[in-house]
Amino acid sequence: MRWAPIAGNEGRFELAAASVHCQYAGVITGAVAALCVVGPEDIVEAELYKPMREAGVWGAELELQQEELSGVKQRMLKGLGQRVEWGLLETSVLVRLFYQLSYRFKGAIATSRAEGGSI
C-alpha cells in the first residue's frame, strides 16, 4: 500500500491511486476505539484525551456538550490521520496511539497480576 500527501492539507495523506488496498482496513480504528472503552481510564486520559485537549481539539472540560460533538469528531479524525515520523517509521498518529495504548495496557495488566489483583 502506498500513500500520497494531500495537497494543502497539513500533513494528511491518502491512498495513492495505484495502491493495493489493505486487507486489514479499519482494524486499527476499531482496536483503538475498543481500547479506549475497556482500558484503564488514566491511560486513555494520558495517551488520547489530554493530548487532544492540548492540541485544541476540544476544551478543558472532560465532558463534551452535544453541540460540540460534530466539530470535535472532525478535528479528531484530522488529528489522528496526521502523518508522523516515529523513530525510523513514517506512520499516522492513530497507529502510534494504538501502540502506546497497547503497550501501556499490557504493562498495567502485568503489574496488576504481579500484585494479585485484576485490571
Q: 3-class secondary structure for the chain?
A: CCEEECCCCCCCEEECCCCCCCCCCCHHHHHHHHHHHHCCHHHHHHHHHHHHHHCCCCCCCCCCCHHHHHHHHHHHHHHHCCEEEECCEEEEHHHHHHHHHHHHHHHHHHHHHHCCCCC
pLDDT in tens, 15-51: 676 656 666 678 998 999 999 898 889 999 899 988 8
**Predicted TM-score of the model (pTM):** 0.72
pLDDT in tens, 44-80: 989 998 888 888 877 666 666 777 777 888 888 888 8
